[in-house]
């Protein structure tokens, strides 16, 4: 081990970086590059770290990895202990709840010691013999990274399409397998997304292709099995602020070609029984108008925010009259209820909503228009519409969990209004939910806004200011962070930690208004809300700055970068995964993924008003000479969403500017992307590293 560190260190020192094996972290060389716009000049000394193929860049990242290993070497045994502890809570030979699709029951199962799922099905009944139709473990072999996604079975259940990514960059190769013979076909579709749907002829697959540079999903093609000709282009999205993807109505009548943007959307549809027919436009796009559609046999259902219905309303329209002028209201807009999603069935519509920060499911009878809510009975929880593939059914499947209840699958009988537990994820290792308590409180932001806060801790916790506490937040894209269960988190709670979710603005926990109050020129509300929650937790005696830790990833990593610039005194440490921290430079570069489509989330810095505002909070641009908390930053070399160089540059700049002796660690997974490691156990090792980092700061060694 020491020899390996020596070789890494020696190789990097030859490029001019200062590094001592025992006492000095890597210092990436500085090659100042001047960036100018709107008459404002910024100098980026670490711009060169964007050169992914540059051996010096790889050497720097490897040196940082070696530094992490050296700095946390004394926690290696504890990391292994945590890994085994968290792994020990998993029932390794478990399976998912079977889902009915036609005459088959589909499910995934895992085998002891194996990293990846095995896709299975049974025909006719659950007592029928099992058929394994895709074993990802056998496919992956000893690959460092292997991800299967977009698993799609044809309507006659005879053909399988699935995407494989071996780099973590979410660029897939689509493979085909004959489920009758077990033969994997020679024909493949390379360098595409994993977004695909079968037409009803069981030989035509609609799929989405991305731009090779920006990775924007911009084209939909049609592939016919056995056809050696070039796949025809079905639809191309020319507006580079839009993404496009393919879907299918629940009753399998139509293939949906969707164009999506932060602020508006547009649908086209193709008869799934006539896949070569031309797409039909549903309703032309209009700025600030988002709509989502599904088909219900004799009519379309439309979820829309037209005419200032910010929280959305549900409409219906005849099958042949899709224009907005024909839409008829089914569920009206409500200022205090956000419609998040809906599923259409032959006799009812299930509507997923947010009310007062919690998700609820409302059932609408299509004939009588009567509506009722499903009751869940806990103060803080998470619920989602589950896997529902049968159109003609009287049963709704939904997923339920809470901070103390493991992920559970329920079947809800619509007419009887009764629910049946189908499966609850087992948690081994002596877990007893009665040992833990979940609370929901509200912190007050600087402008008087009440911010929901979900907490979980082991019973017996005293609010004496001495508890270690980990606070999590996200607050972007309108994505709500619900109070979900995580068995890994028990390793925190059982060692005295309080775990907190701050439901800050920028999400949609309190409705669409909550989202709009935390984006664009109001983005700073996201950061000050998180800080207000931290202050509240300290004031209420849950913790103190010496024991308070924070975490967030991706856009939540932006949150971490801003709060440590604004209030580094509040936190003893943070760990952040794939953080979006170089906001200005990234949003000015239209050649990298996730730029043009993000303008209506963050703003377009080509506009000086947005440039000035974004520059005022961009973590990388606001690093300065002062004390920072202990920090562990993780990333993936092949990340397609937040490029590895953002956290790498941020850490390099922090090393030069920070005035403290606190830890600053950068860990790069050299064979993964935005989602981290691909295997279920490899992912736990990453969690064990994060936990060991904060445990070590707390003096917890076992």
Active site residues: 554, 639, 674
Write the CB contacts of 23 (distance below 8 Å, at least 6 apart in sequence).
none
Beta bridge partners of 349: 344, 364
Residues 676 and 635: their CA atoms lie apart, in Å, by: 8
What one-character DSSP code corresponds to residue 379? S
Give the 3-state secondary structure of residue 62: helix
Alpha-helical (H) ranges within 543-640 are 555-566, 583-587, 599-602, 608-617
Whether 236 contacts 250, CB under 8 Å: no
Buried b (16+ CB within 10 A) or exposed e, 597-614: bbbbbbbbbeeeebbebb
Q: Which long-range contacts (CB under 8 A, 24 or more apart) does 276-282 make?
A: 276/204, 276/222, 279/234, 279/235, 280/322, 282/322
Q: Are 475 and 451 in contact (CB under 8 A)?
A: no
Of 62, 116, 75, 63, nearest in space to 688 by CA: 75
The conformation of residue 143, written as its DSSP 8-state character, comes to: -
CA dist 9 and 650 (Å) reads: 21
HSE-CB at 562 with a 13 A cutoff on CA atoms is 27
The contacts of residue 274 (CB under 8 Å, 6+ apart) are none
Residues ≥6 apart with Cβ < 8 Å to 228: none
How far is 557 from 511, CA to CA, in rounded Å? 23
Residue with tokens 């979980």: 456
Residue 333 neighbours by CB distance under 10 Å: 19
Query: Is the Cβ–Cβ distance between 561 and 579 less than 8 Å?
Result: yes
* 302 and 321 Cβ atoms separated by less than 8 Å: no
- Give the tokens for residue 336: 């205090």
């Amino acid at each position: 081990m020491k020899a390996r560190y020596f070789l890494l260190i020696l190789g990097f020192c030859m490029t001019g970086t200062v590094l001592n094996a025992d006492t000095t972290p890597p210092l990436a060389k500085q090659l100042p590059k001047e960036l100018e716009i709107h008459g404002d000049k910024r100098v980026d000394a670490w711009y060169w770290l964007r050169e992914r193929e540059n051996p010096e860049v790889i050497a720097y990242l490897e040196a940082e990895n070696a530094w992490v290993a050296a700095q946390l070497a004394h926690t290696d045994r504890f990391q292994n202990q945590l890994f085994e502890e968290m792994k020990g809570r998993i029932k390794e030979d478990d399976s998912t709840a079977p889902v009915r699709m036609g005459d088959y029951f589909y499910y995934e199962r895992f085998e002891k010691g194996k990293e990846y799922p095995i896709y299975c099905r049974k025909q006719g009944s659950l007592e029928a013999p099992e058929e394994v139709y895709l074993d990802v473990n056998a496919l992956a072999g000893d690959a460092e990274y292997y991800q299967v996604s977009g698993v799609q079975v044809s309507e006659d259940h005879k053909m399988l399409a699935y995407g494989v990514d071996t780099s973590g960059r979410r660029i897939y190769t689509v493979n085909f397998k004959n489920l009758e013979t077990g033969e994997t076909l020679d024909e493949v579709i390379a360098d595409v997304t994993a977004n695909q749907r079968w037409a009803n002829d069981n030989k035509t697959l609609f799929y989405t292709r991305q731009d090779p540079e920006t990775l924007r999903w911009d084209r939909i093609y049609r592939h016919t099995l056995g056809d050696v000709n070039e796949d025809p282009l079905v639809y191309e999205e020319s507006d580079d602020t839009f993404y496009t993807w393919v879907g299918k109505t629940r009753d399998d009548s139509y293939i949906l070609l969707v164009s999506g943007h932060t602020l508006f959307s547009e649908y086209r549809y193709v008869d799934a029984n006539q896949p070569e027919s031309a797409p039909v436009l549903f309703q032309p796009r209009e700025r600030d108008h988002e709509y989502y559609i599904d088909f219900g046999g004799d009519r379309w259902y439309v979820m829309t925010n037209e005419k200032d219905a910010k929280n959305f309303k549900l409409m219906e329209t005849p099958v042949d009259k899709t224009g907005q002028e024909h839409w008829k209201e089914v569920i009206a807009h409500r200022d205090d209820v956000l419609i998040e999603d809906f599923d259409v069935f032959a006799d009812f519509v299930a509507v997923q909503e947010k009310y007062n920060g919690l998700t609820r499911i409302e059932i609408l009878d299509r004939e009588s228009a009567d509506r009722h809510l499903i009751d869940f009975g806990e103060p803080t929880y998470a619920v989602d519409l589950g896997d529902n593939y049968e159109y003609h059914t009287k049963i709704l499947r939904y997923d339920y969990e809470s901070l103390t209840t493991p992920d559970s699958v329920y079947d809800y009988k619509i007419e009887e209004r009764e629910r049946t537990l189908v499966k609850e994820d087992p948690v081994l290792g002596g877990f007893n939910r009665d040992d833990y308590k979940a609370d929901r409180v509200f912190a007050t932001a600087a402008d008087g806004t009440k911010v929901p806060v979900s907490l979980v801790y082991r019973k017996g916790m005293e609010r004496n200011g001495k508890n270690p506490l980990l606070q999590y937040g996200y607050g972007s894209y309108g994505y709500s962070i619900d109070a979900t269960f995580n068995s890994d988190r028990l390793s925190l709670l059982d060692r005295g930690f309080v775990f907190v979710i701050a439901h800050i603005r920028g999400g949609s926990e309190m409705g669409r208004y909550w989202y709009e109050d935390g984006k664009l020129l109001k983005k700073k509300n996201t950061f000050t809300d998180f800080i207000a929650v931290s202050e509240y937790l300290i004031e209420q005696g849950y913790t103190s700055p010496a024991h308070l830790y924070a975490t967030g990833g991706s856009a939540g990593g932006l949150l971490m970068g801003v709060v440590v610039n604004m209030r580094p005194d509040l936190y003893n440490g943070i760990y952040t995964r794939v953080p979006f921290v170089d906001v200005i430079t990234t949003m000015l570069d239209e050649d990298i993924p996730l730029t043009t489509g993000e303008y209506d989330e963050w703003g377009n810095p080509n506009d000086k008003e947005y440039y000035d505002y974004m520059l005022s909070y961009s973590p990388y641009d606001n690093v300065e000479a002062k004390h920072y908390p202990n920090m562990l930053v993780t990333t993936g070399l092949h990340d397609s969403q937040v490029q590895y160089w953002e956290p790498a540059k941020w850490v390099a700049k922090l090393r030069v500017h920070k005035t403290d002796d606190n830890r600053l660690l950068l860990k790069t997974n050299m064979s993964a992307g935005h989602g981290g490691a691909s295997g279920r156990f490899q992912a736990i090792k990453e969690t064990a590293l994060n936990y060991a980092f904060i445990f070590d700061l707390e003096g917890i060694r076992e």
